Structure 1
Amino acid sequence: MEGSGSGAGVKELCKNQLESCQQLVKSYPKVELLEKALHAVQSTLELITRIQDKAETSDDNKTILSEFTQSCLDSTYHLECQLVDKEFPDPIARGQITQIVQTLSTPLTLCGLLGCEVEQLGTDIIECLHWRVGALMYMYCHMVLTVEERKKEIDVEHFKEILSLGAGHLNLMLSTRAPLSKDDDYMSHDTTVPALLQQGIFSDLHMLSLMYAGEMCHWYWELNSAPSQPTPSKDVQKTQPGASLNDHDSSKESTLWCVMELTQDIEFARDWRDNFNSQKYGIEFLSKYVDVARGPLKDQSWNYVQAVQLLVSLRKANSVSK
């Protein structure tokens, strides 16, 4: 690793995470999760130092990637909980959300620096990254868009972007694993399990992703259908942390869309954002949620009343627009 540009990049990435964790531990002392995150990145840097005079092995890279990723997941989870507890305070929420997303993207950057494919992170971690970004965007929008006083003051274009981004990540989470084929052998005495796997539902989080994504599509459709509001001036936008990406400034595109760009590619992210069809996707997400809740999970108390109500309004709007 010594002398290589990628080796220097790996070390720099880890040092940045170390400084971030040290600052968090200082700001929030005796938080076990943050101490765990700090220890993980310290272990990563120690390993990098030990192997810097020799060629790293695939096992070394696997350990570096695993420890570093866990540090990022733990440190950002604490920040997310802080934002939720404080109900995403308006002056700082946008900047902190951008910071969290950027940190969640660094394991993907590390894959490139180590010369390995993103898939080496493993299916669970890739699903987790998409879930974390998507769920964060959902909670942010839920805290703001369901409170009338806050909703009146929003930057509509910013929230439309957040909604499309969040729905996109939840969609990617849902498609990370291939559904079980009817021809696949699966040993289970419970017929519900293979029925769920054939629908691509591998956990409760997959069901939540369907509902969250459907709600976000509905919110997007509502904002898109509402009378237009004055757009904040560019001077105001420049002073706001995590400003909207609608100007297609490539330097800004990497801030919020970086995880999607690194797990897919830049063109995929741009196409999702620029051609986002909230009615179409919303109907797909909510229909599947209702079908599964009424079908394989009918005895598991998954509430689908709201999903049906959202579906009715989206389908009505869709039929009118045709």
Structure 2
Amino acid sequence: MADDYRRQGFELERRIFELDIKCSSLRTEKQDDDYLQNASAILDKLKSYYRQGGESSNLSKVLQDYTQVILDITFYEENKLVDQEFPEDCSPFKIQQLLQDLTEPEVLAGRLAPTQEVQSMLGLELLECLYWRRGALLYMYCHTLHQRKQWIKKNKDTFLKEGVRYLMRMLQVRNSVKLNDGVVLHDTATASFLSEGIFSDTHLLTMMYIGEMCFWAVKYEDCSADTMDRKEDRLQFRDIGTQILNKYVLACEGPLQGQGWNTENAKEILSILQ
């Protein structure tokens, strides 16, 4: 067991030094990028920690810092893809690479601390962010290319379904607050949000992204080639999109009315999904 822990600890250390090399290389492209600068500063701290013979008692903090580095570096790489409007020749490979990078902190946390819950090692906000970033990346990819009907048909399972799955996981990281569990909230709007599992603007945006991706999946489905699995997929996309967008509309036209949240697109999608 001790040998396994040391071996896995070396794996994390190795990845940190590999990320440092990668970050240095990316900074030659854009030295003043805020995200790369932040990643570089954290990496310097992590390298110093290991050079001083880092202690296992700090594993959670090391994993959290490592996760932040991953988030910063991949954010820079994602922005490059978005700015280039997802070049067809390299985007599928690059996206899979980014998804793998954003999955790694969760995998490492599970391996290095098998008796601990991943969310207790990484923290709720970082775990949410890892799911959000994977789902949002796939949303942006599909948003850029969804007008190409054949592309959607070909890649629905790979990108749309996975994107919805990641975004749904993001919404499920925190449990909604049950108002009858001895929780006293004097602000009824806050109480309404928490009871629905809405903890931030990002949660609301996630709902809209899920609704749009479900709509694209249904809109571009080839009904002429229906199989039982495809029919079930289409029903699942309809059900998820309808449920999530109804919750989105209720929040935006209820407690958030007048706060700048638009529901026109959500209502239009609902009229098609329902």
TM-score (norm 1): 0.74
- Given that 1:25 and 1:31 are in contact with CA atoms closer than 8 Å, whether structure 2 keeps it comes out as yes
Report deviation, 1:37.
0.9
**Letter of the aligned partner of 1:304 in structure 2?**
T
Offset, 1:39: 2.6
Between stretches 38-47 and 204-213, larger displacement belongs to: 38-47
> Which of the residues 242, 246, 264 maps onto 1:287?
246
1:207 CA drift (Å): 0.9
Structure 1 counterpart of 2:125, which letter? Answer: D
**How does 1:1-322 map onto structure 2 within 5 Å?**
4-51=6-53, 56-58=55-57, 60-115=58-113, 116-119=116-119, 120-145=121-146, 148=147, 151-152=148-149, 154=151, 156-183=153-180, 184-188=182-186, 190-225=187-222, 277-315=236-274
AA of the residue aligned to 2:139: Y
The alignment of Structure 1 onto Structure 2 pairs a total of residues equal to 261
Unaligned residue ranges in structure 1 (runs of 5+): 229-273, 316-322
Cα separation, 2, equivalents of 1:220 and 1:159: 7
Distance 1:64 1:143 in 2: 36
Query: Root-mean-square deviation (CA), in Å?
Result: 2.3
Q: CA deviation at 1:295?
A: 2.0
Q: 1:314 to 1:155 in 2, by over 3 A?
A: closer
**Paired position in structure 2 for 1:252:** none
Partner secondary structure for residue 303 of structure 1: coil
- What residue identity is the alignment partner of 2:16? C
Q: What stretches of structure 2 of length at least 5 have no aligned partner?
A: 226-231
Counterpart-to-counterpart distance in 2, 1:118 and 1:157:
34
| Structure-2 residue corresponding to 1:262 | none
Task: Flag the structure with more relative contact order, 1 or 2, with Cα contacts below 8 A and sequence separation at least 6.
Answer: 1
Q: Structure 2 counterpart of 1:213, which letter? A: I
Deviations 1:73-103 (A, max 9, x none): 1111111122222222222221221121111
**d(CA) in 1 for partners of 2:71 and 2:153?**
30
Identity among equivalent positions (%) equals 32
4+ residue runs of structure 1 moved beyond 4 angstroms?
none
What is the TM-score with the length of structure 2 in the denominator?
0.86
